[in-house]
């Protein structure tokens, strides 16, 4: 029993693929609770603290911009509020997942110098912890909004489509950042600027219609834009999301994930010299 | 019994020297723009290392600080990949490591045991069944649900030792001797090391305590600046090593295994 386990550790590349997955699964099953535990100090209710931020922000946006922008949302402040809320959930997920993934390899440097572990498991565990947090914390609220707006359980399930695209995007960026952070420890400052750009170019608190037509195509370079749009179409309009939005979301997700993986694989051999 | 368990063929390792590396995106970009970017220098830490370990051998690795002893062990464990050459390991290999500082302070003792067990390569289910044994050995049965931050430093050390040594490997890797705790536990920990020593058929032992190496190892490798300077008889290796550093006779340090 012990023997077989240890072989997975040592003869990593020689064993079939299924053992790799098994090992990743085992590692994630201890690392994810550890991440959540550290963040919430052991209280399960702590997960709900993560909702405090989007709720306060939504309230502020609604109070400040609500009356001005309501005309773009069928003259309804409530609609504006829901739109801001869905956008914020996406942006918050993106920010916390990628920012936590950024430092994940470096903070485990000591451990990696003592035990042979698959390197990608650390950024992945951060993404997984955020997925768990989203499912427990934000998703129920999103489901309630969807049910209120659409009265159709089918739309609840289709929420998973833009969300999986979001996970792909975050995983790719998380892998890329965690690898780059090993080399450049001041990356955090630059990434703060990058997250601000992502946030301001996502139509979270403003309707995308107010952006000049010439600039609008550039907004779609932001991979989160089509994801937010399709999430809103499902939960607020109660329509099946526009195929082109979904496609753009998934396409950018797959491209970013592939690039992130390739970059990670290319540079991971030099990690241990710098940890 | 004569089976080969470890084989290193022409293993060389080049590592980036950390001092020269800036770790700084801003500076790297600026130096790129000024055309002053220099590719980070690499240093050879292991040179053409060749050796074979057969099942049942107990091998000592000696050499001065920075000779590459721990690096060599990391290459064997698979933590570092050799730049050139190949490393082959058959069977499960367990490094005895110091976990003391690595515990997650907020999590309970039990959860930490499971966490480290899984990191070391055991399954979660298996660790659950072994948790009690480990707690018992560490004499922390009443502390299972307590967060690690509530333990005294001695208790943490005991816990670290108990998790790290609760292994039954084919190949045991010992980097210096681990011994922790109060008088009673020190005795216990020595016994555990002793029994590990007897159980594991193959052992790689890095130590500056040449006396133990002399007593315990059948064969010895003397590493000097990343190269194998001598490989063979333990007495001879120790003598050559001491000669090279200009020490006439080895003085036994004031502790014992």
- Three-state SS sequence of chain A: CHHHHHHHHHCHHHCCHHHHHHHHHHHHHHHHHHHHHHHHCCCHHHHHHHHHHHHHHHHHHHHHHHHHHHHHHCCCHHHHHHHHHHHHHHHHHHHHHHHHHHHHHHHCHHHHHHCCCCCCHHHHHHHHHHHHHHHHHHHHHHHHHHHHHHCCHHHHHHCHHHHHHHHHHHHHHHHHHHHHHHHCCCHHHHHHHHHHHHHHHCCCCCCHHHCCCCCHHHHCCCCHHHHHHHHHHHHHHCCCCCHHHHHHHHHHHHHHHHHHHHHHHHHHHHHHHHC
Surface of A (130-189) touching B: CB under 8 A: 183-187
Q: Residue B90 has what pLDDT?
A: 84
Instruction: Report pLDDT digits (tens) over B11-44.
Output: 888 888 766 566 788 877 888 888 777 777 788 8
Domain that holds residue A253: 35-50+85-274
Q: Which two tokens stand for residue B133?
A: 């044994």
pLDDT, mean over chain B: 80
Enumerate long-range contacts of A150-156, CB under 8 Å, 24 or more apart: A150/A234, A150/A235, A150/A238, A151/A238, A152/A238, A155/A234, A155/A235, A155/A238, A155/A240
Query: For an interface test with A, which of B121, B148, B165, B175 has the most A Cβ atoms less than 10 Å from its Cβ?
Result: B121
Are B80 and A34 inside 8 Å of each other by CB? no
Residue A120: which of A95, A101, A92, A99 has the closest Cα?
Answer: A101
DSSP line for B165-226: H----SEEEEES----SSHHHHHHHHHHHHHHHHH-SEEEEE-S-HHHHHHH-SEEEEEETT
Q: Which two tokens stand for residue B63?
A: 């050499």
Give, to the nearest 10 degrees, the angle between helix B109-119 and helix A17-40.
Answer: 150
Does the residue A106 lie in any domain? Answer: yes
Q: Which two tokens stand for residue A230?
A: 């399709």
Q: Residue B18 has what pLDDT?
A: 64
Q: pLDDT tens track of chain A, all 275 residues?
A: 344 444 444 444 444 567 788 889 999 988 998 888 777 765 666 777 778 888 999 999 999 998 889 888 888 888 899 899 999 999 999 999 999 999 999 988 888 888 888 999 999 999 999 999 899 888 888 898 888 888 888 888 888 999 999 999 999 999 999 999 998 888 999 999 999 999 999 988 888 888 898 988 888 889 999 999 898 888 888 777 788 888 999 999 999 999 999 999 998 888 888 87
Query: Which residue in A2, A185, A186 is closest to B122 by CB distance?
Result: A2
Question: Parallel, antiparallel, or unpaired for β B171-175 and B202-206?
Answer: parallel
B251 touches chain A (CB under 8 A): no
Number of structural domains chain A divides into: 1
Surface of A (209-238) touching B: CB under 8 A: none
B120 touches chain A (CB under 8 A): yes
B118 touches chain A (CB under 8 A): yes
Domains of chain B by residue range: 4-92+205-245, 98-203
3 state SS of B44: strand
> ipTM for the complex?
0.81
Q: How confident is the model over B203-228, as a mean pLDDT? A: 82
Task: State which CATH number among 3.30.1360.230, 3.40.50.170, 3.30.450.40, 3.40.50.300 fits the domain covering B4-92+205-245.
Answer: 3.40.50.300
Does the residue A24 lie in any domain? Answer: no
Q: Which two tokens stand for residue A196?
A: 């601000």
Surface of B (42-71) touching A: CB under 8 A: none
Does the residue A7 lie in any domain? Answer: no
B122 touches chain A (CB under 8 A): yes
Beta bridge partners of B219: B59, B233
Residue A6: which of B173, B125, B82, B170 has the closest Cα?
Answer: B170
Q: Residue B208 has what pLDDT?
A: 76
Are A26 and B114 inside 8 Å of each other by CB? no
Nearest CA in chain B to A108: B102
Query: Which residue in B28, B111, B124 is closest to A184 by CB distance?
Result: B28
In percent, the amount of chain B with pLDDT more than 70 equals 87
Query: Which residue in B16, B28, B97 is closest to A270 by CB distance?
Result: B16
Does the residue A109 lie in any domain? Answer: yes
A68 touches chain B (CB under 8 A): no
Are B25 and A116 inside 8 Å of each other by CB? no
Is the CATH number of domain B98-203 3.30.420.40?
no
Instruction: Report pLDDT digits (tens) over B125-177.
Output: 888 888 888 888 888 888 888 888 888 888 888 888 888 778 777 788 877 65
3 state SS of B15: strand
Q: Which residues of A touch B91 (CB under 8 A)?
A: 3, 6-7, 10
Instruction: Grade residue B254 by pLDDT with cuts at 50, 70 and 90.
Output: low
Does the residue A2 lie in any domain? Answer: no
């Amino acid at each position: 029993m012990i023997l077989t386990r240890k072989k997975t550790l040592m003869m990593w590349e020689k064993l079939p693929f299924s053992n790799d997955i098994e090992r990743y699964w085992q590692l994630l099953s201890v690392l994810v609770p550890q991440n959540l535990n550290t963040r919430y100090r052991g209280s399960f209710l702590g997960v709900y603290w993560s909702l405090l931020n989007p709720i306060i922000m939504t309230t502020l946006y609604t109070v400040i911009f609500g009356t001005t922008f309501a005309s773009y949302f069928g003259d309804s402040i409530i609609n504006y509020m829901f739109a801001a809320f869905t956008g914020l959930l996406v942006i918050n997920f993106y920010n916390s997942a990628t920012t936590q993934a950024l430092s994940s390899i470096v903070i485990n440097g000591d451990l990696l110098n003592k035990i042979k572990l698959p390197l990608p498991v650390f950024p992945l565990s951060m993404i997984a912890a955020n997925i768990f947090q989203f499912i427990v914390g934000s998703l129920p609220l999103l489901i309630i909004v969807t049910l209120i707006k659409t009265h159709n359980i089918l739309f609840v399930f289709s929420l998973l489509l833009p969300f999986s695209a979001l996970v792909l995007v975050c995983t790719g960026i998380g892998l890329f950042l965690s690898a780059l952070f090993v080399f450049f420890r001041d990356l955090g400052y630059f990434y703060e600027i990058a997250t601000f750009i992502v946030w301001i170019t996502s139509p979270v608190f403003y309707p995308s219609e107010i952006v000049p037509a010439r600039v609008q195509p550039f907004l779609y370079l932001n991979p989160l834009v089509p994801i937010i749009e399709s999430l809103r179409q499902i939960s607020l309009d109660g329509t099946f999301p526009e195929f082109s939005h979904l496609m753009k979301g998934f396409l950018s997700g797959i491209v970013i994930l592939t690039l992130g993986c390739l970059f990670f694989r290319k540079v991971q051999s030099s990690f241990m010299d710098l940890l | 019994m004569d089976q080969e368990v470890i084989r290193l063929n022409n293993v060389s390792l080049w590592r980036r020297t950390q001092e020269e590396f800036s770790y700084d995106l801003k500076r790297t970009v600026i130096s790129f723009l000024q055309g002053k970017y220099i590719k980070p220098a690499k240093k050879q830490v292991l040179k053409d290392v060749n050796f074979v370990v057969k099942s049942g051998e107990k091998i000592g690795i000696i050499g001065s600080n920075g000779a590459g002893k721990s690096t060599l062990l990391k290459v064997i464990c698979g933590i570092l990949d050799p730049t050139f050459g190949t490393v082959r390991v058959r069977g499960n290999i367990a490094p005895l490591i110091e976990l003391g500082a690595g515990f997650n302070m907020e999590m309970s003792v039990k959860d930490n045991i499971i966490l480290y067990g899984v990191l070391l390569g055991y399954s979660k289910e298996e660790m659950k069944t072994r948790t009690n044994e480990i707690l018992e050995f560490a004499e922390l049965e009443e502390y299972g649900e307590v967060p690690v931050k509530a333990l005294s430093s001695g208790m943490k050390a005991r816990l670290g030792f108990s998790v790290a040594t609760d292994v039954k490997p084919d190949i045991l890797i010992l980097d210096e001797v681990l011994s922790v705790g109060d008088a009673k536990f020190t005795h216990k920990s020595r016994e555990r090391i002793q029994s590990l020593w007897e159980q594991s058929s193959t052992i790689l032992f890095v130590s500056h305590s040449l006396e133990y190496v002399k007593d315990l190892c059948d064969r010895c490798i003397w590493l000097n600046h990343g190269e194998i300077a001598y490989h063979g008889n333990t007495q001879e290796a120790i003598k050559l090593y001491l000669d090279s550093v200009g020490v006439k006779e080895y003085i036994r340090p004031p502790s014992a295994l």
